[in-house]
Chains A and B, each alone.
Chain A
Amino acid sequence: AQSVTQPDIHITVSEGASLELRCNYSYGATPYLFWYVQSPGQGLQLLLKYFSGDTLVQGIKGFEAEFKRSQSSFNLRKPSVHWSDAAEYFCAVVRYSSASKIIFGSGTRLSIRP
Chain B
Amino acid sequence: NAGVTQTPKFQVLKTGQSMTLQCAQDMNHEYMSWYRQDPGMGLRLIHYSVGAGITDQGEVPNGYNVSRSTTEDFPLRLLSAAPSQTSVYFCASSLAGTNTGELFFGEGSRLTVL
Contact = CB atoms under 8 A, between A and B. Distances in A.
Nearest to A44: B105
Nearest to B91: A43
A19 to B, nearest CB: 19
B75 interface: no
Contact of B58 (A34, A43, A101, A107): A101
B74 interface: no
Contact of B106 (A43, A100, A106): A43
Contacts of B50: 100
A43 B107 contact: yes
A28 interface: no
B48 A101 contact: yes
Given A43-B90, A90-B43, A49 B106 contact: no
Interface in B30-83: 31, 33, 35, 40-45, 48, 50, 56, 58-59
Interface residues of A, number: 26
B4 interface: yes
Interface string A11-46: 000000000000000000000101010000111111
B97 A100 contact: yes
A100 B107 contact: no
Contacts of A81: none
Interface string B73-114: 000000000000000001010000111101101111000000
Interface of B: 4, 31, 33, 35, 40-45, 48, 50, 56, 58-59, 90, 92, 97-100, 102-103, 105-108
Interface of A: 4, 6, 9, 32, 34, 36, 41-46, 49, 51, 90, 94, 96, 99-107
Given A44-B103, A51-B99, A99-B99, 17 more contacts: A6-B42, A9-B40, A34-B102, A42-B107, A42-B108, A43-B107, A44-B92, A46-B102, A46-B103, A94-B98, A96-B99, A101-B48, A101-B58, A101-B59, A102-B45, A102-B98, A104-B43
9 A-B pairs closest in CB distance: A43-B105, A99-B99, A46-B102, A106-B42, A104-B43, A102-B98, A104-B42, A44-B105, A94-B98
